[in-house]
């Protein structure tokens, strides 16, 4: 649960529940258990900044979504392999590691085309045409209403 306390000039945010990220010790998996049965209300949040990742999970859960978490693309692939019902990926573009959010989206689109994709970034993507077909893009900072609209659009 997120609580915001506001005074005239200071806004302090306290994340009351810190959700567990999936274990990095899990075996590496590709797209094991490829399933056409997905739950669009099950969203995998891929964000390297822990506070943003936990905040996104809280906001999604408050809106009725189930959230799974990953800190980078490698971990996202592991979580996806263990949870074949994930129906939507909500990912940052710029992440540490060998694969950024765009490369992750391409890989997922190639192997699991039924999964909805929403990418976000605080930096401008020069060519939105480089995104896989059907991918929604949101610039940071965004409003949560925008996120929910994108998630609904990729569900259909």
CB 35 within 8 A of CB 84: yes
CB 87 within 8 A of CB 40: yes
d(CA 71, CA 80): 13
CB 21 within 8 A of CB 32: no
- Considering the chain, what is the average pLDDT of its residues? 77
> Quick one: average pLDDT of 76-104?
94
Q: Residue 126: pLDDT band by 50, 70, 90 thresholds?
A: low
pTM, two decimals, is 0.73
CB 67 within 8 A of CB 57: yes
> Quick one: average pLDDT of 44-62?
95
d(CA 113, CA 82): 17
Is 60 exceeded by the pLDDT of residue 21? Answer: no
């Amino acid at each position: 649960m997120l609580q915001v306390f506001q005074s005239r000039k200071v806004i302090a945010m306290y994340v009351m529940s810190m959700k567990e990220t999936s274990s990095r010790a899990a075996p590496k998996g590709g797209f094991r258990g490829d399933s056409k049965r997905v739950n669009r209300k099950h969203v995998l949040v891929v964000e390297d900044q822990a506070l943003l990742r936990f905040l996104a999970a809280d906001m999604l859960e408050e809106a009725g979504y189930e959230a799974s978490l990953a800190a980078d693309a490698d971990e996202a692939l592991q979580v996806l392999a263990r949870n074949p019902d994930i129906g939507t990926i909500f990912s940052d573009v710029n992440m540490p590691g060998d694969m950024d959010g765009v490369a992750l989206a391409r890989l997922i689109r190639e192997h699991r085309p039924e999964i909805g994709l929403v990418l976000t970034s605080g930096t401008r993507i020069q060519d939105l045409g480089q995104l896989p077909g059907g991918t929604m893009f949101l610039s940071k900072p965004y409003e949560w209403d925008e996120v929910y609209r994108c998630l609904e659009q990729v569900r259909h």
